[in-house]
Amino acid sequence: MKVGLLGGSFNPAHGGHMHISSDAKRRLGLDQVWWLVSPQNPLKSTTGMAILSDRVAGAEAAAMAPWIRVTDLEQDLGTDRTWKTLQMLRIRFPKVQFVWLMGADNLAQVPKWSRWSKIFQTVHVAVFDRSPYSHKALSGKASSRFSSRRLRASRPIALWQKKKPMWVYVAQRRHGASSTAIRSGCDD
């Protein structure tokens, strides 16, 4: 089974999460996408953060496809770092092939994450275009560090045949939703 992992606060979940999930399923040949609702992102303030159960419930309401699984696995696993979560998921689900899904905004700031390069070494990574962050992300530290391991194929599904670390950048139609904008009451 091939599973895409989309982690985040989901504060709140929105159409952009559905957009990246649908695109990832289609382009990467995924069987499922798991939305990993984080108990608390260590890089984000707790101010304005809804409680975990409310964010999970909101994500369940926003997940409009039977192949999306909303989960608070990080809470169950007792992990608060992505690299550790991924290692534990590979142990718990040894027959599942995982790919980490992220927007270009996260690729730009992933070097701030704990042991971030371990993410690329543990699972394949698919980065989805998210203007206006794309240029900064593609010229940033993570992109540079793994430049020789970037799949330059027009078919992202080829990612599965490549040895890790391997990542792919997927251009896609822009979706304007943003949790920050939704919380502030702005249209993006």
CATH no. for residue 24?
Answer: 3.40.50.620
Query: Which of the four pLDDT bands, split at 50, 70 and 90, describes residue 82?
Result: very high
Alpha carbon distance 22, 65 (integer Å): 9
Whole-number mean pLDDT of the chain? 90
Number of domains in the chain: 1
Q: What are phi and psi of 3, to 5 degrees?
A: -130, 130
Q: What are phi and psi of 158, to 5 degrees?
A: -65, -15
Confirm if 119 and 113 have CB atoms less than 8 A apart.
yes
Paired residues of 153 in beta bridges: none
Query: Which of the four pLDDT bands, split at 50, 70 and 90, describes residue 53?
Result: very high
pLDDT tens profile 120-172: 999 999 999 987 778 889 999 999 999 999 998 778 889 999 999 999 999 87
Tokens at 111, concatenated: 């070097």
pLDDT of residue 188: 39
Nearest alpha-carbon partner for 35 in 54, 60, 52: 60
The whole domain housing 177 covers 2-184
With H, G, I as helix, E, B as strand and everything else as coil, classify residue 184.
helix
Query: Which of the four pLDDT bands, split at 50, 70 and 90, describes residue 3?
Result: very high
Alpha carbon distance 83, 89 (integer Å): 10
Rg, C-alpha atoms of the chain: 15
